[in-house]
Amino acid sequence: MTLTHKDAELLRLISTGDERAFTAFYQEHQANLYRFGLLMSGSRQIAEEVVQEAFLALIREPGRYDPARGSLSSYLYGTARNQVLRCLKRERVYVALAEETNGDATERQLISKNDLLTETARREAIRIVRQAVVALPVHYREVVVLCDFQEMTYAEAARVLNCPVGTVNSRLHRGHALMVQRLRANSKFTHASPDEDWTSLLRCFA
Amino acid sequence: MNCTDFERQIVLLASDRLIDTSFREESLTHVRLCGRCRNRLTEEQNLIAGIRAVRADLATETTPIRVELRLLAAIRTQASNATVNVGKPTLTVWQWGALAAVGLILVSTVAFFWSHSAPAQRRTSITPVVAPEVSVPQQQSLDVGPERERPIVARKKQPRMRRSIRTAPNDGEVVTEFFPLLAGDDLSALESVRLVTVELPGSALAEVGLPRPPAAETTSVKAEVLLGQDGVARAIRFVQ
């Protein structure tokens, strides 16, 4: 995740309006940013907006990126993170809905609202985990998303979040604990054996 | 190892990222002995399995194509704006401010000189003290060389007082010499003068010792009054 010569050259070309350069650059980074926005917000609409604004910022003000302060990927994630926080502040309903849900009955109600009951058991399990992520407070959620879902090292996440590595470690730990508490409400989760593969876990969900 | 130590490393242990093998062995031993930590590890491993499943599920998620199209449109717009601006250097706020300041200084300077020249102009209205019968004055300003007097010709209205040197009167006009109005006044010592065209009664000719035509009793004659830099009339000449 360091700034390569390719990235530097692409940035230069983008600033001159080179569409092919931009397309190459966009294709390299857009999916990760989209998934980051999706996991952080639980909304495709917000994730779309996050990607758009992060790249627009780079197009309009490429000079704002300072290689001395970190990699281009970290810069993009940082911009995306700021955009997510703005969107979440604007549409607080998303988080409030997830955070207010407690207990199995409410969980089922939420799933029912999202019209997920017709999905397969695997998709249902995935949805539950995603809901647990979205229900986390933002400062835990962003660490969980970056480290667990984007597979960043603690150091990389610390650069994106502009905080010490130790903070990332403790927030990740706390985030996991909160998610486990939430998933514990779904008893099937806790009774699954760690040695079982994902298919057997799905059987537990069924 | 106690439960607190185990809890600190549970995320790494559950995700198989605990590098320290001895610590790993100790953790697994603790799990065998402590039912609470065993359940906790199970829950953590289930969570990580769920996270991996979500990660795999999202692997195919990409941004809708419309976002890329919008961004490409933004790039085109930006590029076209940059093309339009080629050769038109844009000024920063500071540069605009500097330009405004220079303009203000220029305006102030002009106003200062105008206000200092205005009293001299106003003094021309006092010239009737010296030439009391001045009617419709037309102001002129010109330099007169210190060495010799130069013929000066009046001009039409001037929006601003300008200094010029005239060596001949207008075509068709005949002018007399300058007649000093103050005894012993040295006109060549004046640094700058102004010429005011006036109309005087014909009797004024006699006052300077010039022959007076019979018709001049009822008509007026055209004259040019030379004003010093202090606004005092110094000399007069007649124009025919």
Flag if A194 and B58 touch (Cβ within 8 Å).
no
Residue B167 banded pLDDT, cuts 50, 70, 90 = very low
Q: What is the CA radius of gyration of chain B?
A: 49
* pTM greater than 0.90: no
| Same-domain pairing of A103 and A26 | no
Output the six-digit token pair for B214: 């019979």
| Same-domain pairing of A51 and A108 | no
Task: Give the A window 115-154 contacts with B, CB below 8 Å.
Answer: 122-123, 125-126, 128-130, 133, 148-149, 151
The ipTM is: 0.74
For residue A52, give the chain B residue with the closest CA: B67
Cβ atoms of residues B188 and B147 within 8 Å: yes
| Same-domain pairing of B142 and B229 | yes
| Same-domain pairing of B53 and B142 | no
| Same-domain pairing of A117 and A59 | no
For residue B75, give the chain A residue with the closest CA: A17
Q: Which of A66, A91, A116 is the last residue of a domain?
A: A91
Query: Can you give the pLDDT at residue A190?
Result: 47
**Which residue in B46, B66, B85 has the most chain A C-beta atoms within 10 A of its own C-beta, making it the best mutation to test that interface?**
B46
pLDDT tens readout for residues B174-199:
788 888 777 777 777 777 778 888 88
Report how far residue A33's alpha carbon sits from residue A155's, in angstroms, rounded to the nearest whole number. 18
Cβ atoms of residues A36 and A150 within 8 Å: yes
Residue whose tokens read 């996050």? A50
Flag if A17 and B76 touch (Cβ within 8 Å).
yes
For residue A18, give the chain B residue with the closest CA: B75
Q: Is 60 exceeded by the pLDDT of residue B146?
A: no
Query: Can you give the pLDDT at residue B103?
Result: 86
Question: Which CATH number covers residue A178?
Answer: 1.10.10.10
| Same-domain pairing of A98 and A73 | no
In a domain, B157, yes or no: yes
Task: Give the A window 61-120 contacts with B, CB below 8 Å.
Answer: none
Q: Provide the number of structural domains found in chain B.
A: 2
Q: Provide the number of structural domains found in chain A.
A: 2
| Same-domain pairing of A57 and A122 | no
Report how far residue B228's alpha carbon sits from residue B234's, in angstroms, rounded to the nearest whole number. 6
| B80 or A166, higher pLDDT | A166
Report how far residue B207's alpha carbon sits from residue B198's, in angstroms, rounded to the nearest whole number. 16
- Asked if B45 is an interface residue toward chain A (Cβ–Cβ < 8 A), one would say yes
- Asked if B39 is an interface residue toward chain A (Cβ–Cβ < 8 A), one would say yes
- Asked if B51 is an interface residue toward chain A (Cβ–Cβ < 8 A), one would say yes
Question: Which CATH number covers residue A19?
Answer: 1.10.1740.10
Q: Which of A91, A109, A138 is the last residue of a domain?
A: A91
Residue A51 banded pLDDT, cuts 50, 70, 90 = very high
| Same-domain pairing of A112 and A63 | no
Rounded mean pLDDT of B145-159? Answer: 46
Q: Is 80 exceeded by the pLDDT of residue B150?
A: no
In a domain, B115, yes or no: no
Pairing of strands B138-139, B194-201: antiparallel
Flag if B62 and A19 touch (Cβ within 8 Å).
no
Q: What domain range is A2 assigned to? A: 1-91
- Asked if B122 is an interface residue toward chain A (Cβ–Cβ < 8 A), one would say no
**Shortest CA distance to B238 belongs to which of B178, B148, B186, B150?**
B178
Rounded mean pLDDT of B224-235? Answer: 81
Spatial neighbors of B93 by CB under 8 A, at least 6 apart, are: none
| Same-domain pairing of A87 and A24 | yes
Flag if A30 and B82 touch (Cβ within 8 Å).
no
Q: What domain range is B196 assigned to? A: 126-239
**Between A and B, how many CB-CB pairs are < 8 A?**
116
- Asked if B76 is an interface residue toward chain A (Cβ–Cβ < 8 A), one would say yes
Alpha-carbon separation of residue B138 from A38, B122, B132 (angstroms)? 85, 13, 15
| Same-domain pairing of B134 and B49 | no
Strand partners, A28: none
For residue B60, give the chain A residue with the closest CA: A31
| Same-domain pairing of A110 and A80 | no
pLDDT tens readout for residues B88-106:
445 567 778 888 888 888 8
Q: Which of A40, A75, A91 is the last residue of a domain?
A: A91
